[in-house]
Amino acid sequence: MREKEDPRVIRTRKLLQEAFIQLMAEKEYEKITIANITSYATVNRATFYLHYLDKEDLLTQTVDEMFRQLFGEALHIPPGNLPIDELQRYIAEHIFSSIAQYDKFFRVMLIKKGMPNFLDHMRNFFFNFYDDRISKASFETLPVPNEIIASYIASAYTGMISWWIENDMPYTPEEMVEQMIFINQKGPTGILKMHVRNDDQS
């Protein structure tokens, strides 16, 4: 059973992270100081250093915590405890609803380039989750290596998320979930083959 974190710690970290994200939306990362962050979050400098080593540590931990938020309880569900279809839907719903909820963060990271190589970090997080999940699940010998499957899923998610945000979220989170699941189940080539027009060429 996971230990519950002190609510005061959670609140302080949330204040600092939200202040940091807001500041990154307003100015370049290099120009943000610890004083700016603590002033915006209404906490003192000593409190900041109780939670983070420096600005870089705050950035890294903020990003990692947001990635964990995307997966929710799926990070803690033992492999095999949910059918693949149910797990896929839970993860897709959690990912797209969380991105919509924290859209300011993702816009800052993707559009304003708040963190160098942000998409690579996201892809690696997704890859590690799926690679670990596949390797620990009870599958027969797979026709494709675990790493390739995990890499494909990770790239599909990060590509779709990036497109969605950069195009100002033209579809609802619910629509994105259904489209993601449909593509996962049918495969892009399979979908295209199903919908080839047989126009009369004569």
Under 8 Å between Cβ of 87 and 77: yes
* CA dist., res. 150 & res. 9, Å (int): 34
Residue reference for tokens 């797209």: 96
CATH 1.10.10 domain span(s) along the chain: 1-52
Which of the listed CATH numbers 1.20.120.520, 3.20.20.220, 1.10.357.10, 3.90.226.10 matches domain 55-194?
1.10.357.10
Report pTM.
0.85
Which of the listed CATH numbers 1.10.10, 1.10.287, 1.25.40, 1.20.120 matches domain 1-52?
1.10.10
CATH 1.10.357.10 domain span(s) along the chain: 55-194
| Cα Rg, the chain, nearest whole Å | 20
List of the chain residues with pLDDT < 70: 1-4, 199-202
Q: Report the pLDDT value the prediction gives residue 1, as an integer from 0 to 100.
A: 44
Q: Report the pLDDT value the prediction gives residue 50, as an integer from 0 to 100.
A: 94
Q: Give pLDDT tens digits for 171-198.
A: 999 999 999 999 999 988 988 888 888 7
